[in-house]
Structures are given as structure tokens and as C-alpha cells.
Amino acid sequence: MHFIPTVQEPETPTRPALWLIFRGTDILVHADAQHSPELPTGLVFPFPDLGLIRRQFLGYQGEQPCFSAEAEPAAPPPTDFEWVGLRSVFGRLPDELFWLAARAVQIMDWDRTHQYCSRCGQPVKARPNERSKECSACGFLAFPRIAPAVIIRITRGREILLARGRHFAPGMFSVIAGFVEPGETLEQAAMREIKEEVGLDVCNLRYFASQPWPFPHSLMIAFTAEHAGGEIQVDQHELEEAHWFSLDHLPNLPGPLSISRRLIDDFILNFPVATTPQ
């Protein structure tokens, strides 16, 4: 079903809404191990004992209204429900519901952290016609924060460049990534990150895809590139190591949730797309 985002919630609900309820970043799902996790529904907030801190109207999944909500930090789950990490329901929830939950947790976090104006410190209030907050004193507008980041797959013939970040799980390697700096284009950010982290020159930089990344509020913009020159020089502040890996001998890779894995899988499935520059 197609999701339609809006801040205009129905004046008189005519059908139960879908509720994406969080305690911190854990989401509430029906605790039935035999089936896919289910999200609660209700015309109004279905669990008043959870201690509702805040709620936000998200829009419509098909014709069903959708809300995000935040429960008290120590709230126990209702009977037959459980709190689970958002990452853990990837692949268990239908894709459209997982990414709706990813949207919900970001909007909830933005609401929680934008109660006061960053310019003058006075209280802010939600505007009725868009996803923003307006300062009651100076009129400053605040919108949900998104941090753009580039992520780049670099190849050399049948080899792919993979690196280990300092906070990666043991033995796991992934592609190069980094945040976009003020004043940069996405292409400039990609070239800078490659040069800073592994010291390589690349060519044929091409857009691949994008993915919202709700941990906590990034937008990942993926590119592909081909090795054009230089030897690997690892930035020890960012990475532990980086190497060229043959398609026949790949290390442990990120899970299927991330666009980094999509970049790697796409190369494996579609080789020989990349070619070594002359």
C-alpha cells in the first residue's frame, strides 16, 4: 500500500489507526513467535497505561491513519506485546511497515529534541500545515533534521574495496562512507571521503540509489566508482584497515538492511559491470 505523508489528521476517525509506539528506540509489537510481528491498532491510543508522552500524526497507509507515539521510559509492555529493537524487525515486518516505522522513530526523536527554539530558547509549537515547529517568540522555524551521507562502492576489475570502521562488528567489512559537509555537492563529498579515508583516485562516479537510515537520522546516497590510480593509504582515525577483495574471497559483510550490502550484492550479481580504467 502506498504511504501518503501529511500532518492533517482526521477530525473524526472512522477506522482504527495503525500505532507505531516506541520506548526509546524500541518498538512495540505483538509477541507471537509463530507469525510476523504485528503493530497495534485503535481509534485512539490503545494502551493508556503506557503513559503517553507524545504522539505525532504521520499520514495514511492506504486509507488507514498512522500515528507514532512515545511511551514512558520504564513502561512495561502490555499483555501479549513486547518491546524490540527496530533493527530486529527488519525482514520480519513487511518492508512498507518497516520503513514507515523508520520514518516514525525519526519524527518522534525530532519532536522530543525540538521543544525549545535553538535561536532564543523559548517554547516552540507544531505548525498545523507542515512538519515544522515555530518559535512563539522570534518566529524561527525548525524542520526535521536529516543528515546526508555518501556511501561509495569502489571496484577494480573483479575486486572491490572494503574497509573496517573502528566501531564495526568483529570481522565485518563494508564500503566507504561519510557525511556531506556544508557547501559540498554529493559528488564532491564522495571524492573527498575516498581521498581522505583510503587515498585513492577514482573515475566513473555514478549515482546508484538512496536510503533513509533512521539510526538516528541520516539519508544515505549511494554511488559506484572505479579505481583510477593510487595505493591504499588508510586514515587510522577513521578506519582500522582497508583492502581489495576478490569476488571469490569476500569477508563478512553488512546485513541486508543497509544500502551498503545492496551495493556489494549488486556488484556480485552484475559483474562484469565495472572495468579497470585504461
Domain layout of the chain by residue ranges: 3-113, 114-144, 147-270
Confidence at residue 161, expressed as pLDDT on a 0 to 100 scale:
98
Confidence at residue 241, expressed as pLDDT on a 0 to 100 scale:
97
Per DSSP bridges, beta strands 176-179 and 147-156 are antiparallel
174 by Cβ neighbours in 10 Å (0-12 / 13-18 / 19+) ranks as buried
CA angle 262, 222, 94 (to 5 degrees): 45
Q: For 3-113, CATH number?
A: 3.90.79.20
Confidence at residue 108, expressed as pLDDT on a 0 to 100 scale:
93
Report the CATH fold assignment for 147-270. Nucleoside Triphosphate Pyrophosphohydrolase (3.90.79)
Confidence at residue 1, expressed as pLDDT on a 0 to 100 scale:
67
Q: Which three cell numbers stand for residue 269?
A: 550479481
Confidence at residue 35, expressed as pLDDT on a 0 to 100 scale:
66
Whether 3-113 and 147-270 share one fold: the answer is yes
Confidence at residue 278, expressed as pLDDT on a 0 to 100 scale:
43
pLDDT in tens, the chain (278 residues): 689 999 999 888 889 999 999 999 999 999 775 567 889 999 999 999 999 999 999 999 999 999 999 999 999 999 999 999 998 888 888 889 999 999 999 999 999 999 999 999 999 999 999 999 999 999 999 999 899 999 999 999 999 999 999 889 889 999 999 999 999 999 999 999 999 999 999 999 999 999 999 888 899 999 999 999 999 999 999 999 999 999 889 999 998 889 999 999 999 988 744 444 44
3-state secondary structure of 268: helix
Confidence at residue 105, expressed as pLDDT on a 0 to 100 scale:
94
Whole-structure pTM value: 0.85
Contact 64, 14 (CB under 8 A): no
